[in-house]
Homo-oligomer: A and B are copies of this chain.
């Protein structure tokens, strides 16, 4: 179904004539209001029934920067909230070439065979430049994309990481309300995107390759520390031995990290996504994790903490942009940074001065 068809379907409902005792202007307003209201309600109803087109349209509203769409999106999210949260949110990261798409194709297909409904989202703030490098090319998941119980959505583009993060988090809620119970959120190591994905998922999976030797250089600081599992992909054919060696090495390294708040001990797994090997084992591990964190209360606790984190994060981001985007602050900041570079002031004196301006 094309976007235009979706639009016209949504516009059908609620075209009641205005009653006689209101001004044409008011009548128009009421009509528009009702029209939109009915559309959103229908959309919400369809979405809650698991209709993928409705879900897709809902996410488009979330991704839109138009104020009217924003209002519609908020209506949808509010309506979706009571039905959301019943899923496993899995973050998946790894450098380009590690086989993320192939892994998601294999893992996602396995989950669907197990009766799961799988949504795949992405957080890729670079996609405005690379025109949707992640998931943009759906042919890379040609099997998964045809399954009725799979929903695949590329990263929202043309936005800051903060913007992408909000949109993805809200999209997760809609996917969950539409009945998707495994949400895979893919990211590539760009800026802070792994930390962002980590802070919106229940389980964080780092995909690696063995034997490349230089593969360690590619991971940013802290990524290994965030991982609940390291999966060594392409552990097949001639790679098998190197993968097993890498597994031992990573396992040893992981022991150097302090215990996680979840009490979960990160595991290292081998996988050959292209031959569908190892994915069952990975799902079992994630199920074990889920049992453990359900039992010790961490699952619920972590989601609540994540929500609070996002509240503070959003407020703080706005406070900063309000401040730094003021023209007088921009000008003064430039001056103060130059004074710092020339060792004429301290960071604290400069900060005090800037704060005195706002």
**Chain A contact residues, CB within 8 Å of chain B:** 74, 77-78, 81-82, 85, 166, 169-170, 173, 216-222, 224-225, 249-250, 252-253, 255-259, 304, 307-311, 313-316, 318-320, 323, 336-337, 340-341, 343-352, 354-355
Contact = CB atoms under 8 A, between A and B. Distances in A.
B257 A216 contact: yes
B343 A82 contact: yes
A347 B169 contact: yes
Given A308-B337, A311-B337, A351-B311, A346 B217 contact: no
7 contacts: A78-B349, A81-B343, A222-B222, A250-B256, A252-B253, A315-B323, A318-B351
A351 B320 CA distance: 14
Contact of A221 (B74, B258, B351, B354): B258
Contacts of A351: 310-311, 314-315, 318
Given A217-B258, A222-B225, A252-B253, 7 more contacts: A221-B258, A253-B256, A304-B340, A313-B347, A314-B351, A314-B352, A315-B354
A313 B347 CA distance: 9
Contacts of A314: 347-348, 351-352
Contacts of A78: 345, 349
Q: How many copies does the complex hold?
A: 2
A173 B315 CA distance: 34
Given A314-B351, A316-B316, A318-B351, A173 B307 contact: no
A170 B309 CA distance: 31
A321 to B, nearest CB: 10
Contact of A315 (B77, B216, B219, B355): B355
A343 B85 contact: yes
Pick the 8 closest A-B CB pairs, nearest first. Answer: A310-B347, A314-B351, A311-B347, A253-B256, A319-B319, A221-B225, A315-B351, A307-B347
Contact of A344 (B81, B220, B345): B81
B258 A311 contact: no
A250 to B, nearest CB: 8
B255 A252 contact: no
A259 B220 CA distance: 9
A311 B354 CA distance: 9
**Which of A252, A259, A319 has its CB near the most chain B CB atoms (within 10 A)?**
A319
A120 to B, nearest CB: 21
A78 to B, nearest CB: 8
Contacts of A318: 351, 355
Nearest to A225: B221
A156 to B, nearest CB: 14
Interface centre among A173, A216, A250 (most CB of B within 10 A): A216
B225 A346 contact: no
**Residue of A343, A345, A351 ringed by the most chain B CB atoms within 10 A:** A351
A173 B343 CA distance: 12
B221 A348 contact: no
A197 to B, nearest CB: 16
A343 to B, nearest CB: 6
Contacts of A256: 216, 224, 249-250, 253
- With a 10 A CB-CB cut-off, give which of A173, A224, A307 has the most chain B CB atoms: A307
Nearest to A250: B256
A26 to B, nearest CB: 27
Contacts of A217: 258-259
